[in-house]
Amino acid sequence: MVKIPPVLRQAVGGEREIDVPGDTVSEVLERLYELHPQVRAQLLTPQGELHRFVNVYVNDEDVRLAGWLETEVGEADTVMILPAMAGGAR
Amino acid sequence: MARSYQDLLAAARERVPETQVEELAEQLAGDEPPLVVDVREQHEWDEGHIPGSVHVPRGNLESRIAGEAQVGQEVVLACASGNRSLLAGQTLREMGFENVRSLAGGYNRWKQNGHPFDVPRTLAPAQRSRYARHISIPEVGEQGQLKLLDSKVLVIGAGGLGSPAAFYLAAAGVGTIGLVDDDVVDASNLQRQIIHTTDRLGELKGESARTSIEALNPDVQVDVHPVRIDRDNVLELIDGYDLIVDGADNFPTRYLLNDAALMTRKPLVHASILRFEGHASVFMPYEGPCYRCLFPEPPPPDLAPSCGEAGVLGVLCGVMGSIQATEAIKVALEIGDTLAGRLLIYDALAMTFTELKVRRDPDCPACGPNAVLEFRDYQAWCAGVGHSAAAAVGAGA
């Protein structure tokens, strides 16, 4: 299951969570891009790399510190896409 | 058979050995000092006591002694002249404390013989009543409350997060609260910025917040800084404060605050909000991860809508600002486990709290060992100069 942050929800038709198959983070994200092509443009650079401002977690662990995009994803795991949020005062 | 006061004292003296003030003074200067438990009343303790002693009034002795002493520990009981401490010793003997003595002549003789004593700073009677619910918490207590009154917290933004955070910090008796905001109160703020009021529309937010805080708690000194924080004034603004509460509304300010907090080694209590979702964490410079360990680069503006553009549930601000106030108090009191090393995500629609691990990034460009920490042009950096613009749709209005 992939958790979609508020800023990406419009690109996925308002969904908060989407069930997509895949054994690695990379497979899960690819499947997500197929379903919702707009997300690809938001998360990836023109060169196809994940933007540095996007954090991806499998459960509570940052994939940067695990196996990056090859981090394994089990059926019960949650993949969370997390860009920073700025809001506070206004 | 009725037993008089003298009978009780005589019986106590048979079971509880006495120690002399000179002997105690020597022991306290030695390697294994006994625990001195002062059993007098609050006002007597406040007037002065033996340095290093703990205060457990005789009326609470049975219920509170376990929090201060182990059964096998060497304990010397002290009162004013050595009688109440004998009777207290009887009680502790009954509770299984074998190694208990009573200070002959008590605190009065200790002081008369020229030994040093501490006169604690204490709360005024009105403060004792105002903060009674804090004082009852063992982790806070009177000393903790005094610490809060000595604390100086700088709140960035007197808006969605800053309003509840500053309001609760003021209620808690944080003695000095600085408010940085150059904006004025607008009608659209009042759905969430509870420190402001309808009759103060158009006033500077800092001044409006000061009015509310002063009405709530006259103990609090409010410093209003009606400026936009930038790299030229940030160090001057945070100077003199113990910690920073980040309730800013934009990335340039957040990255600027992170760098300034690292430079001055001040804890940064973070939260951000959008629609129904809130993030919170605590960044302890060089002890835990910093904001840039978590988010090395800001997202482009189209992926980072403000609450003004995307909206925010008013009460979400109350939850997240209160979490910031909680963490600020814990940092100030050095109690509990803060959110350092964790990002707390609150989803108000699903009503779930999720925690993510945040670790120090060994290559962090701000706090890593090879980092060269200097202020940059945060506006340009966050506007996407330098990284490829994503063809993003964003959250829309």
The tens-digit pLDDT sequence of chain A (90 residues) is 899 988 888 889 989 999 999 999 999 999 999 999 999 988 888 888 888 889 999 999 999 888 889 999 999 999 999 988 877 655
B304 to A86: CB separation less than 8 angstroms, yes or no: yes
DSSP annotation of B76 reads E
Tokens of B168: 């609760």
Low-confidence spans in chain B with pLDDT less than 50: 386-397
3-state secondary structure (DSSP) of residue B240: coil
ipTM of predicted complex: 0.91
Give the model confidence (pLDDT) of B50-84 as tens digits. 999 999 999 999 999 998 999 999 999 999 999 99
Q: Does B6 touch chain A (CB under 8 A)?
A: no
**What's residue B390's pLDDT?**
33
Residues B208 and B290 both lie in one domain:
yes
Residues B83 and B177 both lie in one domain:
no
Residues of chain B contacting A61 with CB distance shorter than 8 Å: 356-357
Mean pLDDT of chain A: 90
Residues B198 and B282 both lie in one domain:
yes
Enter the CATH code of domain A2-83. 3.10.20.30
Supply the pTM of this predicted model.
0.79
In a domain, B331, yes or no: yes
**What's residue A90's pLDDT?**
59
Contacts of B30 (CB under 8 A, 6+ apart): none
In a domain, B120, yes or no: no
Active site residue B307: yes
With 0-12 CB in 10 A as exposed, 13-18 as middle and 19+ as buried, what is B238? Answer: buried
Residues B156 and B104 both lie in one domain:
no
B181 to A87: CB separation less than 8 angstroms, yes or no: no
Domain residue ranges of chain A, discontinuous segments joined by +:
2-83
Give the model confidence (pLDDT) of B215-253 as tens digits. 999 999 999 999 999 999 999 999 999 999 999 989 999
Q: Does B355 touch chain A (CB under 8 A)?
A: yes
In a domain, B137, yes or no: no
**What's residue B388's pLDDT?**
37
Q: How many domains does chain B have?
A: 2
Residue of A nearest to B393 (CA): A11
CATH number of the domain encompassing residue B218: 3.40.50.720
Of B92, B112, B132, which residue sits at a domain end? B112
B63-to-B40, B56, B82, B111, B134 alpha-carbon distances in Å: 15, 9, 22, 29, 19
CA distance B98 to chain A (A): 50
- Per the structure, the complete domain to which residue B261 belongs is given by 151-382
* Neighbouring-strand partners of residue B19: B103
In a domain, B87, yes or no: yes
In a domain, B194, yes or no: yes
Quick one: which of B367, B238, B382 has its CA closest to B301? B382
Residue of A nearest to B157 (CA): A89
CATH number of the domain encompassing residue B45: 3.40.250.10
Residues B162 and B18 both lie in one domain:
no
Residues B277 and B165 both lie in one domain:
yes
Q: How many CA atoms lie within 13 A of A46 on its CB side?
A: 5
Residues B261 and B195 both lie in one domain:
yes
In a domain, B397, yes or no: no
**What's residue B99's pLDDT?**
95
3-state secondary structure (DSSP) of residue B327: helix
Q: Which A residues in the span 20-59 are in contact with B, Cβ-Cβ below 8 Å?
A: 38, 41-43, 45-46, 51-55, 57
B392 to A42: CB separation less than 8 angstroms, yes or no: yes
Q: Enumerate long-range contacts of B89-98, CB under 8 Å, 24 or more apart.
A: B89/B12, B89/B15, B89/B16, B90/B8, B90/B11, B90/B12, B90/B15, B90/B16, B91/B61, B91/B62, B92/B61, B92/B65, B93/B15, B93/B16, B95/B62, B95/B65, B95/B71, B96/B71, B97/B65, B97/B69, B97/B71, B97/B73, B98/B71, B98/B72
Residues of chain A contacting B307 with CB distance shorter than 8 Å: 87-88, 90
CA distance A58 to chain B (A): 9
B250 to A57: CB separation less than 8 angstroms, yes or no: no
Q: Does A13 touch chain B (CB under 8 A)?
A: no
Q: How far apart are the first and last CA of chain B?
A: 86
In a domain, B131, yes or no: no
CA distance B305 to chain A (A): 8
Tokens of A35: 């379903």
Tell me the C-alpha distance between B100 and B355, whole Å.
Answer: 48
A87 to B306: CB separation less than 8 angstroms, yes or no: yes
Q: Which of B290, B307, B317, B367 is labelled catalytic?
A: B307
Residues B310 and B359 both lie in one domain:
yes
Tell me the C-alpha distance between B384 and B64, whole Å.
Answer: 60
Tell me the C-alpha distance between B235 and B232, whole Å.
Answer: 8
Q: Does B305 touch chain A (CB under 8 A)?
A: yes
Provide the pairing of β-strand A79-83 with A61-62.
Answer: unpaired
Contacts of B340 (CB under 8 A, 6+ apart): B281, B282, B283, B284, B287, B288, B289
Residues of chain A contacting B247 with CB distance shorter than 8 Å: 88-89
Residues of chain B contacting A71 with CB distance shorter than 8 Å: none
